[in-house]
Amino acid sequence: MITGNTSGLKTAQLKGLERIAGRRVSPDLIVSPELAKELCAVAFELARQVGVLLSRNGQVEAVMVGDHKSIMIPALRQFKASGGRLKGLRCVHTHLAGEDLSEDDLMDLLFLRLDMMTVVKMDQGGATWLSSAHLVPQPVQEKNWVVLPPEIPGQQTQCREFILGLEDQFAKARPVREIDAGRDRAILISVTPLSKVKAQESMDELAELARSAEVIVLDTVVQRRDKINPRLILGKGKLGEIMLTALRLNANLLIFDQELNPSQVRSITDHTELRVIDRTQLILDIFARRALSREGKLQIEMAQLKYMLPRLTTRDDALSRLTGGIGGRGPGETRLEVDRRRINDRLSKLAKKLKEVSREREQRRSRRRKKDLPVLSLVGYTNAGKSTLLNTLTNSAIVAEDKLFATLDPTSRRLRFPEDVEVIITDTVGFIRHLPEELLKAFKATLEELH
């Protein structure tokens, strides 16, 4: 695979890159002298940085071409790092002026969880020294990586054994705990200008939401900032620290307490292959788990689609994005437009169905009024004990768990008082701080029970 800045290259130069793509080095070497020399020769000819991604077996998995001062590592989604493990790839690339590892190099090492980041220092087209760095389980002099002493290309370093030993160090640094298979393991993140007390209250609530969604909380990060980074929410350095913590704790999910806009999600996921969700998505997931009735399922589907609509993106190739038009020619909708249209169509249908639900509820309330039955609604914070109180008063057995949003669908029961007085008691969905607007609108029919 050849990626990057290949525009303007001649056929012979492209064939040279293809030859590099077919190379293999000993697993004991960071890079062989022959491959280092070939990289430098091609980089010197192109006046561009050139690099490779090497597997632990020494196979060239990708050849990368950059510009004169940087190189772009391609998406590595096909190389999935198992939990708590490094990526299984090391990056070896040239620096045209013989510079040391750059800040971008070290950030790529950290964010992509690479086995190693290596620069081949050049001198008039030839390889002189290697400068390499690797991650460490615990910071060394406030750095999350260690830069190794310079070495000559081909020097025996037992590279494969070294990386496996490094992964063992990460495993030993991991806290011993029982982790249920199949459950997400998350780090909770909050970046807020609020006071320390209010920030902690919000984080405690987020932790309870995670527990209700069957998520294992491994760590929490609260950063107080007067001004939130518009792209990454938090600083790049802090995000790097979180990536290393995720590697050490074997986390696979980041949950932000703040709602993320589409561009922020893209920016964060460009820096990590961990799944990233926000508070709203977490609440939507809980609601989707709890919805049992037809009405509840309609409401949560509407809320999810409204949340998803502005966040639709496409990464397909230009041709594959087109539908309609013979052979991709002529007018046609992009796949993104088709998806948006389908969601809008579905939202219209859901809105009609929920109007019917609202009418049915109004009819039931009308019948109660005719019978002159008083209606008492149990209202309060989620998980405050409303369902338990209803069960106790009416000898019922509706679901009452020590979890947030255990009740989504309103439940009504009759309660008879002395002297043959009857009332209807209704259990309602609980409230929470910063309830997403999508849910408030979608659950309009449910909240009508409070009127």
Provide DSSP, 376-433: EEE--BTTSSHHHHHHHHHT------SSTT---S-EEEEEEEGGGEEEEEEE-PPB-T
Cα–Cα separations (whole angstroms), residue 396 to 152, 195, 279, 430: 77, 43, 33, 19
pLDDT digits (tens, 9 = 90+) for 200-245: 888 999 998 998 888 999 999 998 888 888 888 888 888 888 888 8
State whether 19 and 86 are in the same domain.
yes
pLDDT digits (tens, 9 = 90+) for 148-203: 988 888 776 788 899 999 888 887 776 655 455 578 889 999 998 888 888 888 89
Q: Are 171 and 84 in contact (CB under 8 A)?
A: yes
Quick check: 317 pLDDT over 50? no
Residues 289, 292, 295, 299: what is their CA dihedral angle, to the nearest 10 degrees?
Answer: 0
What span, in angstroms and rounded, lies between the C-alpha atoms of 150 and 30? 12
Domain assignment present for residue 241? The answer is yes
Q: Give the three-class secondary structure for 274.
A: coil
Query: What does pTM read for this prediction?
Result: 0.71
Sign of CA dihedral 200, 205, 210, 211: positive
Residue 361: what pLDDT?
78
Report the helix count and the strand count for the chain, using DSSP H and E. 13, 16
Residues 6+ apart with CB under 8 A from 48: 5, 65, 66, 67, 68, 96
Average pLDDT value for residue range 363-391:
80
Domain assignment present for residue 359? The answer is no
State whether 291 and 275 are in the same domain.
no
Average pLDDT value for residue range 422-437:
77
State whether 270 and 201 are in the same domain.
yes
State whether 330 and 416 are in the same domain.
no
What span, in angstroms and rounded, lies between the C-alpha atoms of 169 and 285? 35
State whether 26 and 144 are in the same domain.
yes
State whether 135 and 196 are in the same domain.
no
Task: Specify the CATH number for the domain of residue 405.
Answer: 3.40.50.300
State whether 436 and 340 are in the same domain.
no
Provide DSSP, 179-201: --TT--EEEEEEEESS-HHHHHH
For residue 321, the enclosing domain spans 287-350
What total of structural domains would you count in the chain? 4
State whether 317 and 403 are in the same domain.
no
pLDDT digits (tens, 9 = 90+) for 248-275: 888 889 999 988 888 888 888 878 878 8
State whether 160 and 272 are in the same domain.
no
State whether 163 and 277 are in the same domain.
no
Helices (H), 158-293: 159-173, 196-212, 236-249, 262-271, 279-290
State whether 200 and 214 are in the same domain.
yes
User: Of 173, 193, 223, which marks where a domain is finished?
Assistant: 173
Domain assignment present for residue 358? The answer is no
Domain assignment present for residue 178? The answer is no
CA 43 to chain centre: 35
Quick check: 87 pLDDT over 70? yes
